[in-house]
Structure 1
Amino acid sequence: MTDLDDLLHDTAVDLRMATFRLTRRLRRERAGDNLSDAHFAVLGNLNLHGRLAIGELAQRERVSAPTMSNTVDALVESGLVVRVPSEEDRRRVYIEITGAGTSVVTATVHKRDAALADALADLDFTDEELRVLREAAALMRKVAER
């Protein structure tokens, strides 16, 4: 392996571990205790992209359509999403987030942002370190969107 290969590998390991720990910590911050990560991911997708068919949701979350159907059933029962029949094709049904679902997403995002801001404040980073973190966040987003 070359020095560049070693650097890439070591960076990948460090990034994976830091991301994993931070994600696990942030996932504890939720507006609803009875909401699983899978449920929140579906709500987040619907909040971001608008109404979607179950197949589209399943594809976005990389699960089977029957698994997504079960997840949607639970969210419908909780009043966080509704099924909306297609006006063009009666066989097609879309899933749409409700006001309550949007509120859960908004509250959870606010809790997570506040928890992370508090953690950053507790660490007493300098302005320069905070700028580096922002730059790192942009690079991480680039990797995630690849």
Structure 2
Amino acid sequence: MNRSTPTPPTGTDAGLAAALRMAVGRLARRLRAQRPDSSLSLGQGSVLFALARHGKMTPGALADHEKVQPPSMTRIIAALEARGLVRRMRHPDDGRQQLVEITEEGSRLVAADQQRREAWLTRRLAELSQEDKEVLRRATEILDRLSQS
């Protein structure tokens, strides 16, 4: 049985918001399904990507970046550290602080994840017309602005 959710009308801002939420959610689920290591939670994966992108961070800075409470970040870091994907070290300027950095194994996992997801998305994009790709190029800029606000 094929039950598809009807697409809301996009003539209003509220309708566009609903349609965009559903489309982005479906795409996010499809991309998550491409993860090479599905044993990582989404929070753990997000922390690995943040460390790969931004370098060493304090647990507090990670918690702020990921919009989670410090005790939750402590649990995420501990789980990643137990798997050898991150390591903690003393902060060079403040002995009361620690820094968290991604390990080589964590970096390999992030690279494999990115490669697999981008390959899947590249195959999907190849199915589109040039006009659709141009629309997506522009939409990508807009979505990035929305995500930063």
Structure-1-length-normalised TM-score: 0.90
Equivalence for 1:13: 18
Task: Within 5 Å, give how 1:51-66 maps onto structure 2.
Answer: 51-66=56-71
Give the match for residue 101 of structure 1: 106
- Where structure 2 has 5 or more consecutive residues not aligned to the other structure, the ranges are 1-10
Picking from 118, 131, 143, the partner of 1:140 is 143
2:18 counterpart of 1:34:
no
Displacement, 1:116?
1.2
**1:93-112 CA-partner distances (Å, limit 9, x unpaired):** 01001111111111101111
Instruction: Tell me what 1:128 maps to.
Output: 131
- 2:80 paired with 1:75: yes
Q: Partners in 2 of 1:119 and 1:96 — Cα distance?
A: 34
Q: Which amino acid counterpart does residue 127 of structure 1 have in structure 2?
A: Q
Aligned to 1:113: 118
Partners of 1:66 and 1:142 in 2: how far apart? 30
How far 1:129 sits from its partner (Å)? 1.2
- Residue of structure 1 in register with 2:29 after alignment: 24
Q: Deviations over 1:13-62 (max 9, x none)?
A: 11111001100111111122321111110001111111111111111111
Which digits, 9 at most, give the CA deviation of each residue in 1:83-139, with x for residues without a partner?
010122221101001111111111101111111122233xx3211111111111111
Amino acid across the alignment from 2:92: E
SS of equivalent residue, structure 2 residue 99: strand
CA-atom RMSD in angstroms: 1.2
- Percent identity for Structure 1 against Structure 2: 36
Name the CA distance, whole Å, in 2 between partners of 1:34 and 1:98: 18
| 1:53 partner letter | T
Mark the runs of 5 or more structure 1 residues left unpaired by the alignment.
1-5
Aligned to 2:5: none
Q: Larger RCO: Structure 1 or Structure 2 (Cα < 8 Å, ≥ 6 residues apart)?
A: 1
Q: In the alignment, what sits opposite 1:3? A: none
